[in-house]
């Protein structure tokens, strides 16, 4: 077993361990069913072997698979083919003609360089109306009292091991948020509980309910794999940025960078993962150790003193090597190669309910958390100009572009357009995607400095915080 | 049971659940034995009932109890009596004559207004020499190679339910740090592992070993109760501030406040406590719920929708009240009245191995963590002037004094002295303690604004970061 784990090859095995069903809300049940893309190998994600260990053979999955891009791109069949072309990697944006995205939001995306058959990123941008719920005490409110409210919503979903989870999340997560926000209408000020903390709680619970729905419906809808989710909710003057995964959001305001998310990886979440392995050793199946060492321990080092870190430590100290320290480390690898149980490189996200350690019944899911971190930005506390933007990107952008480089591109592109030109934000999104993709040259896609561009799917939202996209 | 828990009365019950002994290092074993103060009721700490449920009757404990203050105070028997006088509450400082504390550190303390029989704070200030350990590979190094190093050390220990744990920690914790730092001498640069992270790891492990020693020796040395620990280590240009509890450290530099610690309370550690209760429900004994509600749930509210937070949430959301939500909340109360399992108001610290929920076998200790948070401040990155200081205080100071008020006192007192007058830091520590204690007036100790002063033990270190206390 250990040798096979060491080879860091894992696969998907379908399992029947779904949690008991929750009652579905009616407006969620008639949502379109998500259909899977054909899974293939992807960095930072478990290599998918479609059908291996599953009752459905690969060909059946293939036959059912369909490829879709965000509806707001309004792609024709020909456009859809171009968006799916790994060789050309044409940048896609909503058409200049027709209805703009809310707030004149800019958007651009490009498919990967061949690491998976389809673009496994998905995106969503909506204005969502929330009807008030019946009051808490059970007495129905009169509809005429106008208990409803609206929120603006943007979501980026970076799928792995197939596009099914990302597509399902892009169609449904905002509906879960809407469902949770219905309670806002019957809220009256209570000790300690602010309006803001209710919106945060609503988003947190929506992620959980979305994840539970994926667990329930994964068989029927072939939702294999999982996805990172980065969403923005604007409600009553405040921007809520919720992140579960390794996408990133920053605000660029007057040239200054304000981080609005942090990435959740085996390295940034080491202590949480180690604590879980320590408190629930059965999750490690006798195959893994929750301790971290600077390198793999060799059997000949038994009894020697070696540096280690446990779930409580941020520093390093020495311990005497014991037999169980020879087990494979729960967290191993560095940077983009860091993995949990040699299997997956992100530690937050939706889906992945079938994911197991290779040739093992050990589930990865308890280490993967669906809960986002939510940061709040009060738009009313600052007078924003048309050049102030919130930039959301999947890791395809951030793998090769620093925050400062993004801020420089924001300045360069926006200053080339009139402040009231609504197309400037799409031009900026395109420039960011192009800058991360590079151009095709000998041996791959290259940046101007001749470094490799991102071979990953790249998706970017540029949300203006002031100026033409009035949100009052 | 539940009613008794509700009354928030808990007591100490001796238990035999000590962890298996670790080999003691020789220079720790001949340390002076800590002797307990007689425990009595204290805010934020479990009310101690000395001897109840223990094999030793209260009188025996009383007979063994002795009262001690830090040796650097050089108190005569008469001075010791004055330091122990609740009525006068005279401020104690090291004498002006004789050897100063390292770096001309200032120190002052005052006993509580009667909440416990003795001052349960303790303090330590030492220069500690670390001999090099034999090399990791087992080959002894030659002593002539000069592998040793020195560190400067300051510690504040705020005891509860007796002074035994605080006294033991004040005598031994720096020895554990010395023991851990012996490994530094055989460190050679390794990937990812910096010198700084080794010092942090050494301090983290020293806290754990100190806590384990208290567990092993609590019967022999009558070390009941527990203590918060706030320690500072200066080594090779860097200041390491380690905090486990609700004491606080701030740097005041050129008038600016730099927080060097955060407090660990049931409120600040809610999610960690809830996660532990969720993953290990047996720790809650069917008596407590890990969920938080804005108020106690009434039985008549079963089936209704109510706001709640779980271990994953920072916001609030609604859930339908079920039977187990009627259990007593794991974390309850607000501010200084917040408690874990209705018992204790700090969530990090040393000792407390006997602490149980009232009339129950449920131990509190798994929720109390002995691990500190360590912050690092690089002294070489800034040119410090004689007015730049690191201020350490137990909660007796901070309960009635804000960071800004401390910074104002730093400015006011230090500017009244010549920069090279080494007594200015003790004068500052005294001013801070006096300002928090107030003066005796009708109905208690009052501050100039007529608010109540702190009735708690108050202890303050003022560590100069530049100027006369040269540390090169």
The minimal CB distance from B314 to the residues A136, A305, A374 is found for: A374
The 3-state DSSP class for residue A269 equals coil
Nearest to B220 by CA among B157, B172, B164: B164
B64 token code pair: 């063994």
- The crossing angle, in degrees rounded to 10, of helices B195-221 and B164-181 is 140
Q: Give A208's contacts in chain B (Cβ within 8 Å).
A: 312
The minimal CB distance from A201 to the residues B315, B334, B374 is found for: B315
| Residue A459: pLDDT over 50 | yes
The minimal CB distance from A193 to the residues B197, B280, B316 is found for: B316
Instruction: Using a CB–CB cutoff of 8 Å, tell me whether B180 touches chain A.
Output: yes
Instruction: Using a CB–CB cutoff of 8 Å, tell me whether A295 touches chain B.
Output: yes
CA distance A192 to chain B (A): 7
Angle at A288 between CA A287 and CA A293, to 5 degrees: 145
- For residue B135, the 8-state DSSP code is P
For chain A positions 204-223, those within 8 Å of chain B (CB to CB) are: 204-205, 208
Q: How confident is the model over A210-254, as pLDDT tens digits?
A: 999 999 988 777 777 999 999 999 999 999 999 999 999 999 999
Contact between A110 and A446 under an 8 Å Cβ cutoff? The reply is no
Mean pLDDT of A117-144: 75
Q: Give A204's contacts in chain B (Cβ within 8 Å).
A: 312-315, 317
For residues A370 and A165, give the distance between their C-alpha atoms in angstroms, rounded to a whole number. 12
The pLDDT value recorded for residue B196 is 95
* CB contact (8 A) between residue B317 and residue A137: no
Q: Identify the bridge partners of residue B463 per DSSP, sorted by sequence position.
A: B390
* CB contact (8 A) between residue A193 and residue B307: yes
Nearest to B209 by CA among B15, B17, B25: B25
The minimal CB distance from B201 to the residues A180, A304, A315 is found for: A315
The minimal CB distance from B190 to the residues A190, A279, A294 is found for: A294
B249 token code pair: 């450290």
The 3-state DSSP class for residue A11 equals strand
The minimal CB distance from A199 to the residues B137, B201, B315 is found for: B315
DSSP labels, A32-58 = PPP-PPPP---TTSPPP-TTTTSSS-H
Instruction: Using a CB–CB cutoff of 8 Å, tell me whether B312 touches chain A.
Output: yes
DSSP labels, A190-203 = BTTB-HHHHHHHHH
CA distance A249 to chain B (A): 19
The minimal CB distance from B197 to the residues A275, A280, A315 is found for: A315
Return all residues near B183 (Cβ < 8 A) that are at least 6 apart.
A305, A317, A318, B133, B136, B198, B202
Return all residues near B15 (Cβ < 8 A) that are at least 6 apart.
B353, B354, B356, B363
Contact between A347 and A266 under an 8 Å Cβ cutoff? The reply is yes
Each residue's pLDDT, cut to its tens digit, for chain B (472 residues) gives 333 322 332 332 223 333 333 434 334 533 333 333 333 333 344 443 333 333 333 333 333 346 799 999 999 999 999 999 999 999 999 998 878 899 999 999 999 999 999 999 999 999 999 987 655 444 444 444 456 889 999 999 999 999 999 999 999 999 999 999 998 766 665 557 899 999 999 999 999 999 999 999 887 767 779 999 999 999 999 999 999 999 999 999 999 999 999 999 999 999 999 999 999 999 999 999 999 999 889 999 999 999 999 999 999 999 999 999 999 999 999 888 999 999 999 999 999 998 999 778 899 999 999 999 999 999 999 999 999 999 999 999 999 999 999 999 999 999 999 999 999 999 999 999 999 999 998 788 999 999 999 999 999 999 999 864 455 4
Q: How confident is the model over A374-401, as pLDDT tens digits?
A: 999 999 999 999 999 999 999 999 999 9
For residues B472 and B253, give the distance between their C-alpha atoms in angstroms, rounded to a whole number. 19
Which is more confident, B401 or A358? B401
For residues B92 and B90, give the distance between their C-alpha atoms in angstroms, rounded to a whole number. 6
- For residue A388, the 8-state DSSP code is -
Task: Give counts: helices (H), strands (E), chain B.
Answer: 10, 21
Q: Give B205's contacts in chain A (Cβ within 8 Å).
A: 313, 317
Contact between B128 and B153 under an 8 Å Cβ cutoff? The reply is yes
For residues A292 and A414, give the distance between their C-alpha atoms in angstroms, rounded to a whole number. 46
Q: How confident is the model over A433-458, as pLDDT tens digits?
A: 999 999 998 788 999 999 999 999 99
Beta strands A328-329 and A288-289 are parallel
* CB contact (8 A) between residue A369 and residue B304: no
* CB contact (8 A) between residue B201 and residue A316: yes
Q: Which residue of B has its CA nearest to A193?
A: B316
DSSP labels, B453-467 = ---S-EEEEEEESST
Reported confidence tier of residue A67, pLDDT bands at 50, 70, 90: confident
Q: Give A241's contacts in chain B (Cβ within 8 Å).
A: none
Q: Which residue of A has its CA nearest to B181?
A: A317
DSSP labels, B191-229 = TTB-HHHHHHHHHHHHHHHHHHHHHHHHHHHT--SEEEE
pTM summary value: 0.84
A162 token code pair: 């197939």
Exposed / middle / buried, residue B232 (Cβ in 10 Å: 0-12, 13-18, 19+): buried
CA distance A208 to chain B (A): 10
Q: Identify the bridge partners of residue B159 per DSSP, sorted by sequence position.
A: B227
Its ipTM equals 0.82
The pLDDT value recorded for residue B48 is 39
Q: Which residue of A has its CA nearest to B138?
A: A304
Instruction: Using a CB–CB cutoff of 8 Å, tell me whether B298 touches chain A.
Output: no
Q: In A311-400, where does DSSP find H-type helix?
A: 395-398
Reported confidence tier of residue A467, pLDDT bands at 50, 70, 90: low
CB atoms within 10 A of CB A140: 9
Tally C-beta pairs within 8 A across A and B: 112
Phi, psi of A392 (to 5 degrees): -110, 135
Return all residues near A199 (Cβ < 8 A) that are at least 6 apart.
A181, A184, A233, A235, A238, A240, B315
Nearest to A279 by CA among B100, B366, B152: B366
The 3-state DSSP class for residue A281 equals helix
- The crossing angle, in degrees rounded to 10, of helices B424-437 and B403-414 is 140
The 3-state DSSP class for residue A345 equals coil
* CB contact (8 A) between residue B312 and residue A371: yes
The minimal CB distance from B315 to the residues A198, A304, A309 is found for: A198
* CB contact (8 A) between residue B317 and residue A198: yes
Instruction: Using a CB–CB cutoff of 8 Å, tell me whether B304 touches chain A.
Output: yes
B226 token code pair: 């527990």
SS3 content of chain A, % helix, strand, coil (to 5): 30, 25, 45
Q: What is Dmax (Cα atoms) for chain A?
A: 77
Q: Which residue of B has its CA nearest to A191?
A: B294
A299 token code pair: 């059997």
* CB contact (8 A) between residue A315 and residue B192: no
Contact between A151 and A237 under an 8 Å Cβ cutoff? The reply is no
Beta strands A226-235 and B121-130 are unpaired
Instruction: Using a CB–CB cutoff of 8 Å, tell me whether B369 touches chain A.
Output: yes
Nearest to B365 by CA among B390, B380, B377, B347: B347
Contact between B136 and A321 under an 8 Å Cβ cutoff? The reply is no
The pLDDT value recorded for residue A40 is 32
* CB contact (8 A) between residue A313 and residue B199: no
Q: How confident is the model over A164-218, as pLDDT tens digits?
A: 999 999 999 999 999 999 987 666 655 578 999 999 999 999 999 999 999 998 8
Least confident of A11-25, A59-73, B115-129: A11-25
E strands in A39-193: 106-110, 121-130, 149-160
Q: Give A199's contacts in chain B (Cβ within 8 Å).
A: 315
Mean pLDDT of A137-143: 45
Contact between B91 and B445 under an 8 Å Cβ cutoff? The reply is no
The pLDDT value recorded for residue A51 is 32
Q: Give A191's contacts in chain B (Cβ within 8 Å).
A: 294-295
The pLDDT value recorded for residue B187 is 61
* CB contact (8 A) between residue A374 and residue B200: no
Which is more confident, B139 or A295? A295
Instruction: Using a CB–CB cutoff of 8 Å, tell me whether A190 touches chain B.
Output: yes
């Amino acid at each position: 077993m250990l040798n096979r784990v060491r080879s860091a090859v894992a696969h998907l095995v379908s399992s029947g361990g779904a949690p008991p069903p929750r009652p579905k809300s009616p407006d969620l049940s008639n949502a379109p069913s998500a259909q899977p893309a054909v899974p293939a190998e992807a960095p930072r994600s478990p290599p998918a072997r479609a059908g291996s260990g599953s009752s459905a053979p690969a060909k059946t999955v293939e036959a059912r698979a369909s490829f879709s891009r965000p509806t707001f791109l309004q792609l024709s069949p020909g456009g859809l083919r171009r968006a799916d072309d790994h060789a050309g990697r044409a940048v896609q944006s909503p058409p200049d003609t027709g209805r703009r995205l809310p707030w004149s939001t800019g958007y651009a995306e490009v498919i990967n360089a061949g690491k998976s058959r389809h673009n496994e990123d998905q995106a969503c941008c909506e204005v969502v109306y929330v009807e008030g719920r019946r009051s808490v005490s059970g007495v129905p409110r009169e509809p005429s009292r106008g208990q409803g409210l609206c929120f603006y919503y943007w979501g980026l979903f970076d799928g792995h091991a197939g596009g099914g989870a990302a597509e399902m999340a892009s169609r449904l997560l905002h509906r879960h948020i809407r469902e949770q926000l219905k309670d806002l209408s019957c809220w009256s000020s209570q000790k300690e509980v602010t309006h803001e903390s209710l919106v945060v709680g609503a988003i947190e619970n929506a992620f959980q309910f979305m994840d539970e729905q994926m667990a329930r419906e994964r068989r029927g809808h072939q939702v294999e794999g999982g996805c990172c989710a980065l969403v923005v909710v604007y409600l009553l003057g405040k921007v809520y940025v919720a992140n579960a995964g390794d996408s990133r959001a920053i605000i660029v305001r007057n040239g200054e960078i304000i981080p609005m998310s942090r990435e959740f990886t085996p390295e940034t979440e080491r202590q949480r993962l180690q604590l879980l392995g320590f408190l629930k050793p059965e999750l490690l199946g006798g195959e893994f150790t929750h301790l971290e060492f600077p390198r793999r321990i060799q059997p000949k080092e038994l009894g020697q003193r070696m540096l280690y870190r446990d779930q409580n430590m941020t520093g390093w100290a020495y311990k005497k090597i014991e037999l169980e320290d020879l087990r494979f480390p729960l967290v191993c690898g560095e940077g983009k190669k860091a993995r949990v149980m040699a299997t997956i490189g992100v530690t937050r996200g939706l889906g992945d309910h079938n994911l197991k350690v290779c040739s093992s019944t050990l589930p990865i899911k308890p280490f993967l958390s669906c809960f986002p971190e939510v940061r709040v930005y009060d738009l009313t506390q600052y007078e924003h100009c048309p050049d102030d933007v919130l930039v959301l990107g999947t890791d395809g952008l951030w793998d090769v572009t620093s925050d400062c480089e993004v801020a420089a591109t924001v300045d360069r592109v926006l200053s080339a357009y009139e402040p009231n030109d609504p197309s400037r934000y799409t031009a900026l999104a395109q420039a960011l995607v192009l800058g991360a993709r590079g151009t095709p040259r000998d041996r791959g896609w290259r940046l101007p400095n001749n470094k490799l561009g991102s071979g990953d799917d790249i998706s970017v939202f540029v949300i203006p915080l002031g100026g033409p996209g009035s949100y009052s």
